[in-house]
Amino acid sequence: MVSNASEPAPIIGVTTYLERAQQGVWDVRAAFLPEQYLTGVTDSGGIALLLPPQNPDAADAAIAGMDGLVLSGGADVAPELYGESRHPLTDPARTDRDAWELALFRAAERRRMPVLAICRGLQLVNVARGGTLQQHLPESLGTEKYRLGGGVFAENAVGISDETPFADIIRESEVSVHSYHHQGIGRLGDGLVAAAHSDDGLVQAFVDTSAGHVVGVQWHPEENAEDRRLFADLVAQARVFAAGRRESAA
């Protein structure tokens, strides 16, 4: 997508992991994010800025100059946050990410900033809104089709509801998506409207237009370089948000 030269490109914050990284003689903990997230934003006309985990008190200031937010994928959200005991196969708690990303999402909500929540991001938003997760889908749904393992993304069919604004983004009744998750939505959180399901009834996407523009997908759209619809929608919404921010400042 080519941006209008008369207006600045919107700035999109993208959350990252803190992970052990090795390069040459260095073996350190570092901010890490697959490049696909960044190109999803930049290919769609936005500017991507990384948001690694840090003090949650800094979340409001961190996104003050941004126009949109991507909550990226990664490790499981801590079940303690939605009042459940830990399943044996749930990932060890990543309290740094949970606290930081919850604070970022709430800061974005207060501003009515556009949000695209991907995989773990969708789950985190659901928890932030008081929803719950199914901690191990092979047990609760009896299928391994959402996570093949070994870094290989599964491909699954997802049906799109024609009753939400999400249908205007996708413009198809069914799409093939890239999946890599073993958890999923249990009880849907407050204000979130299911916008896509797989054939086993699992919620695969939701929207909330009452708090700005919030879109969550259980799959990984960044893995499909031929289909930037979700990133393009975020950037388009971020342009509108940025224009409103400039107007208010003036």
Active site residues: 119, 220, 222
∠ CA 184-163-211, rounded to 5°: 70
Residue 130 class from Cβ within 10 Å (0-12 exposed, 13-18 middle, 19+ buried)? middle
**CATH 3.40.309.10: does it fit domain 11-249?**
no
Q: For residue 6, is pLDDT > 90?
A: no
pLDDT of residue 1: 42
Mean pLDDT, residues 4-24: 87
pLDDT of residue 65: 93
| Residue 58 phi, psi dihedral angles, 5° rounding | -90, 0
pTM of the model: 0.95
pLDDT of residue 5: 53
Q: What mean pLDDT is reported for the chain?
A: 94
Q: For residue 2, is pLDDT > 50?
A: no
pLDDT of residue 19: 87
Percent of the chain with pLDDT over 90: 88
Give domain limits for the chain. 11-249
Q: 114-142 pLDDT, tens per residue? A: 999 999 999 999 999 999 999 999 999 99
Q: Which of 67, 53, 62, 52 is nearest to 10 (CA)?
A: 67
What does the alpha-carbon distance between residue 42 and residue 31 come to, in Å, rounded to a whole number?
19
Q: How many residues does the chain have?
A: 250
Contact 13, 62 (CB under 8 A): yes
∠ CA 94-132-121, rounded to 5°: 50
Q: For residue 173, is pLDDT > 70?
A: yes
Contact 211, 177 (CB under 8 A): no
pLDDT band at 244 (very low <50, low <70, confident <90, very high): confident
Mean pLDDT, residues 78-87: 97
Q: For residue 3, is pLDDT > 50?
A: no
Question: E strands, 114-229, where?
Answer: 115-118, 133-134, 154-160, 174-179, 184-185, 193-197, 203-208, 214-217
Look at 21-25, 65-69, 160-164, 231-235 and tell me which has the smallest mean pLDDT: 21-25
What does the alpha-carbon distance between residue 246 and residue 191 come to, in Å, rounded to a whole number?
28
pLDDT band at 15 (very low <50, low <70, confident <90, very high): very high
